[in-house]
Structure 1
Amino acid sequence: MTTRSFPVPRVGGEREQSYPDERGPRGTQIVNQWNVKRTKNPGKNASPFYLAQYEYEKQKQYPCMKFVYFGIGDGSKGVCLDSVFNLNKDDCLVLSFGISKDWTFDEAFGKFGCKVVSLDPTIRKEDHQHSKNVRFLNLGISNKNESRKSGGWTINRYFGLRDGRKGVCLDPVFEIIPGQCRVLSFGICKEWSFDDAMGEFGCKVYSFDPTNGMADHQRSPNIRFYSLGIGRAKTKQKLTGMKKGLFKVDRYENILYMLGMTNTTIDYLKMDVEKSELGFFRDVFTKSPYLLKNVRQIGMELHHTTSKLAKHRMFWKYFPMLKCHGFKLLEARRYFGRTEAVWVRP
């Protein structure tokens, strides 16, 4: 069997490696698609998305013999280099929508020899030539030729990376001014990118999480951390996603009192608390709804995909209550089993 050489599409690597013409060995770069592990049988209690994925993967697939991953980590995308697709170096064009700060896919394809047009309106960069083969355009894709707006406002900056990323509206009406703005951030684990970005922007950030094993400390000049969670009562309780232990939580009203901020404007309230947002909603709306008048924006990761329809309904009944308190939905982005939502209160 004859062999040929072509570059392993790994950013920063200049090595070449030979593979057989008809069948590539299984590995991190080139795999035999028929040997890739399929999704396990999810069982009757799985989410609708997981069931759909399982049913789809049971269907007969195209047997690609040279299945290559371009990019690293979250930016990695699979590409079939079989000769039938005529994906020739210096004679291929790639359109890439959605970059954030992960250029690994685009750069790998550029090094492979393709012309790449990268598009993303969220990273706040002007059109430019990123590299020899990669051209960036400050533009997104939609079903309408317009800016994504709600009630006259638009998300005009994302703070944080990947799972920690939250949209923030910096329109003048919200007066998010460096040196004067305040952010409450509930749910950190080890993902500090949002808090760090808001601190670098100039806001005072108060970060809360009882699960990451850290004691109260000053993370940076603008970021203060507290080993405390949010709930509907001052107590210790089990938390979703944590197999062992009881964790200290407190009511939103008590936390504001502790910070001396019961009558202070909260420019951004961020929550990524693995279903503890239910406790927050229940407590605030029933005991201290007046505190919401001081909150300008809420960014929340909602974990609503569940086999229990009753719990699913519990989430959505609170959203009209936000509207009653003057909040308007600015953005809702669906991910696997969760929704990233942003509400604003002008």
Structure 2
Amino acid sequence: MYFHNLLSNFTVEKKYFYANHTRSSKLQEKEASFKAVICKEDVEHVQGIKRLLSDGISRDKTLANEFYKLIMKPVQSACNKLLRVGTGIFPNIAGWRSWDGHKYVCADDFHPSSTTNEQDCLVYSFGISDDLSFEDAVAAQGCHVFAYDHTIKRLPYANNSHRIHWKPIGLGVQNGEKLKTLGTLIDKNGHTNRTINYLKVDVEGAEREAMVEWIKSDSLRKVQQIGIEFHQVSIYIRTYVQMVQQLYELGFKTIAWDPNMTTRPKSGEPFNYFEIVFRRSELNCK
């Protein structure tokens, strides 16, 4: 049982171009026209990301504006079925209420045909706190979830705990008593040659140094999707631009962008905290 069975339970955020039934030539022409427009935008998006730091932009604010223009319009031709997974929580922060904790997942990578010779899908998750809804949802669909958070003493709840494997360990750039690198954990779990369908990361800013280590150690070699929250983006704009560019060089594309609505930006500025999902995929523009 994989995510293709969730289409009746979750809202599909993207409509895709192909169907199995016969269509009129007029409808096919319209779809081809829409696809051409979308693909043109997606190609421009990828090109724009790759040249951001080579355009000679000296002011961080200008760079941030260009970065947000691109990142807030994810590519549409790199995923057929985009799902919102996990109920999240509904906190009240300074009188402001909004959902937080859900993740967007491209269901394409969770179909049995995409996990050839592998019995179960595999998810790694860093950062639990008091919300396990995402991990619980993917475990309920047959995935084994290896979850880590060194800031909690126990999981808040686990309806599918036999598939959720949690340890009080944090994500680090080197190995210590409480922190381990991603590569070390993957190797220790015996997953070096396994496909990791989804890597969820919400580590309150530690992703900035962690990403450097992932790239250097090639720890993302078998990862298909990365759902990660960026923190204080305007302050560390050049670091985040470099992170995204490095992911694009590895074949990842941005397929979802979702602002963290529990944090309100200053007037006239974009959200400083947001969820972003990358998928290793080519643009479906042929």
- The bucket for the TM-score relative to the shorter chain is 0.5 to 0.7
Q: What are the Cα deviations for residues 71-122 of structure 1, in whole angstroms up to 9, with x where unaligned?
A: xxxxxxxxxxxxxxxxxxxxxxxxxxxxxxxxxxxxxxxxxxxxxxxxxx99
Tell me, in whole angstroms, the C-alpha distance in 2 between the residues paired with 1:156 and 1:319.
20
Aligned length: 190
Give me the TM-score of the superposition, normalised by structure 2. Answer: 0.59
Amino acid at match of 1:280: A
Deviation string, structure 1 residues 310-346 (Cα, Å, up to 9, x no partner): x332122111100111111111122333111011113
Inter-partner Cα distance in structure 1 for 2:11 and 2:273 = 26
Root-mean-square deviation (CA, aligned residues, Å) is 3.0
1:342 matched to 2:272? no
- Greater share of strand residues, 1 or 2? 1
In the superposition, relative to structure 1, how do residues 172 and 198 fare at CA in structure 2: closer, same or farther (>3 Å)? closer
The one of 195, 200, 206 equivalent to 1:276 is: 206
Q: 2:172·2:180 contact (CA, 8 Å) conserved in 1? A: yes
Verify: 1:304 aligned to 2:232, yes or no. Answer: yes
Cα 1:285/1:214, change in 2 over 3 Å:
same
Candidates 197, 215, 223, aligned match of 2:164: 223
- Please show how residues 1-346 of structure 1 align to structure 2 within 5 Å: 123-124=10-11, 150-161=76-87, 162-171=99-108, 175=112, 180-214=120-154, 220-235=161-176, 248-286=178-216, 288-289=217-218, 291-305=219-233, 309=235, 311-335=236-260, 336=263, 337-346=272-281
- Describe the SS at the equivalent of 1:300: strand
For 1:284, what is the secondary structure of its paired residue? helix
Letter in 1 for 2:79: W
Instruction: Give the secondary structure class of the aligned counterpart of 1:207.
Output: strand
Ranges in structure 2 where 5+ consecutive residues have no aligned partner: 1-7, 13-33, 39-73, 88-98, 264-271, 282-286
1:123 Cα offset (Å): 3.6
CA contact (8 A) 1:199 1:222 kept: yes
The separation in 1 between residues aligned to 2:201 and 2:109, in whole angstroms, is 24
Report the Cα distance in structure 1 between the residues aligned to 2:162 and 2:79, rounded to whole angstroms: 31
For 2:133 and 2:139, locate their aligned partners in 1 and report how far apart those are by CA, in whole Å: 10
Partner Cα separation in structure 2 for residue 210 and residue 173 of structure 1: 28
How many angstroms apart in 1 are the aligned matches of 2:101 and 2:172?
Answer: 21
Question: Shift in Å at residue 155 of structure 1?
Answer: 4.8
What is the percentage of aligned positions where both structures have the same residue? 29
SS of 1:342 mapped into structure 2:
strand
Please list every run of 5 or more consecutive structure 1 residues that lacks an aligned counterpart in the other structure: 1-120, 126-144, 237-247
Superposition misfits of 4+ residues, deviation over 6 angstroms: 145-148
C-alpha contact (below 8 Å) 1:179/1:204 kept by paired residues? no
Contact 1:155 1:167 in 2 (8 A): no
- CA shift, 1:214, in A, is 2.8
Q: Does the Cα contact within 8 Å between 2:233 and 2:240 map onto a contact in 1?
A: no
Bigger radius of gyration among the two = 1
Q: Give the drift of 1:212.
A: 0.9
Greater RCO between the two (CA within 8 Å, min separation 6)? 2
Paired AA for residue 124 in structure 1: T
One-letter amino acid of the counterpart of residue 104, structure 2: G
Q: Aligned partners of 2:184, 2:133: CA distance in 1, in Å?
A: 26
Give the distance between the partners of 2:171 and 2:78, measured in 1 at CA. Answer: 32
SS of the residue aligned with 1:299? Answer: strand
Determine if contact 1:305/1:338 at 8 Å carries over to the other structure.
yes
Gap change, CA 1:183 and 1:207, over 3 Å in 2:
same
Distance 1:155 1:300, change over 3 A: farther
